[in-house]
Chains A and B, each alone.
Chain A
Amino acid sequence: MIGLLIVSHSARLAEGVQEFVGQIGGDQIPVVAAGGASDGSLGTSVERILAGLEQLRTADGILALVDLGSAVMSVETALEHFSGPPVQISNAPLVEGAYLAAVEASNAEATLEQVAAAALQARELTKVYE
């Protein structure tokens, strides 16, 4: 089972993506929101991210989906203090990437590589057809 970590500058945005993704997997896929700065204001928090990673410790792998700016650096910093299952940071757009990752992860046999590849397909996702 692959877990998803949702990292956004906004705690509400991260929780919203978690809610949205929950529509696919229900309780099947472990999805943890780690949004906002330590005091809940806009920003990212290494502590919150680390706590989120700890919540996903029992997964076989973790895909972190991020918004922008400091999100990547905060996850990378948190990873220096985390010794659990392997973690990949996705280059996919947050909402669409999390959605596609959840679809792939709903297969309990899916590997981290497969879930990460599915999330990346969000970069090519067509929304508006000519």
Chain B
Amino acid sequence: MPITVEHVTHFLTAAAELIHAHRDELTALDAAIGDADHGANLDRGFAAVIARLPTVADKDIGTVLKTTGMTIVSTVGGASGPLYGTAFVRAGMALADRHEMSAEDVVLALEAALDGIVARGKAQPGEKTMVDALVPAIEALRAALAEGRSLTRAMQAAAAAAAAGAQATIPMLAMKGRASYLGERSIGHQDPGATSTAYLLQALAMTCSRNEEEA
């Protein structure tokens, strides 16, 4: 069954709900090594995205994702605005004019999102950022699909890899972003950006599971 705009809308709604539910946790993580606004910023950004969704409900997947990105850029005042904003815009560009997408397209979109985050933030794996959750997630997704698993199973593996990736940022020394100003003191804390990325992957997995149940 192909993925449609409706599924993308489900994903964005699930993402907004998860971010809202973990808002205080994300802000607390950011308070430890950043400027204590990650949860509040993302919650505001995704709430704005949800408010905008009805205006693009009849558009193609690329337009929905690009609109999501631009809304995040204009409503999130912290670093996550340009980073996630660019990620969604790039994913939207990869799926321009598409009304349906396959499992392979999901991989392509996530790779485009990763490229956008790397282009914007210049972070490499191991620097205690979103990249440390997204890279293992894409690897797990690709590997599971190559083994012939369903998109739902593969996305569950990706979400688990993202969560593990976020946890693996705890012993890392921050090399990018506000946390890098703390130097050695950034060690021992989980990166808020990697954590929110793991929640977005979880939202993708939840959307796939729900879609499978309904199919």
Interface residues of chain A, those whose CB is within 8 Å of chain B, are 9, 36-39, 41-47, 68-70, 73-74, 76-77
Per-position 1/0 for B12-41, Cβ under 8 A of A: 000000000000000000000001010001
B82 touches A37 (CB 8 A): no
What is the bound-complex CA distance between A39 and B37, given in angstroms? 14
Q: Is B75 an interface residue (CB 8 A)?
A: yes
- Smallest CB-CB separation from B85: which chain A residue? A77
B78 touches A43 (CB 8 A): yes
B73 touches A77 (CB 8 A): yes
A46 touches B82 (CB 8 A): yes
B181 touches A68 (CB 8 A): yes
Q: Which of B42-98 contact A (CB under 8 A)?
A: 73-83, 85-86
A47 touches B74 (CB 8 A): yes
Ranked 5 nearest A-B pairs via Cβ: A43-B77, A37-B77, A70-B79, A73-B82, A77-B82
Given contacts A77-B82, A77-B86, contact A42 B120 (CB under 8 A): no
What is the bound-complex CA distance between A44 and B80, given in angstroms? 11
Q: Is B149 an interface residue (CB 8 A)?
A: no
Q: Is B126 an interface residue (CB 8 A)?
A: no
User: Could you tell me the distance in whole angstroms from the C-beta of B109 to the nearest C-beta in chain A?
Assistant: 19
User: Could you tell me the distance in whole angstroms from the C-beta of A9 to the nearest C-beta in chain B?
Assistant: 8
User: Could you tell me the distance in whole angstroms from the C-beta of A82 to the nearest C-beta in chain B?
Assistant: 13
Residues of B within 8 A of A42 (CB): 35, 37, 77
Given contacts A70-B81, A74-B81, A77-B86, contact A46 B177 (CB under 8 A): no
What is the bound-complex CA distance between A77 and B78, given in angstroms? 13
What is the bound-complex CA distance between A11 and B86, given in angstroms? 24
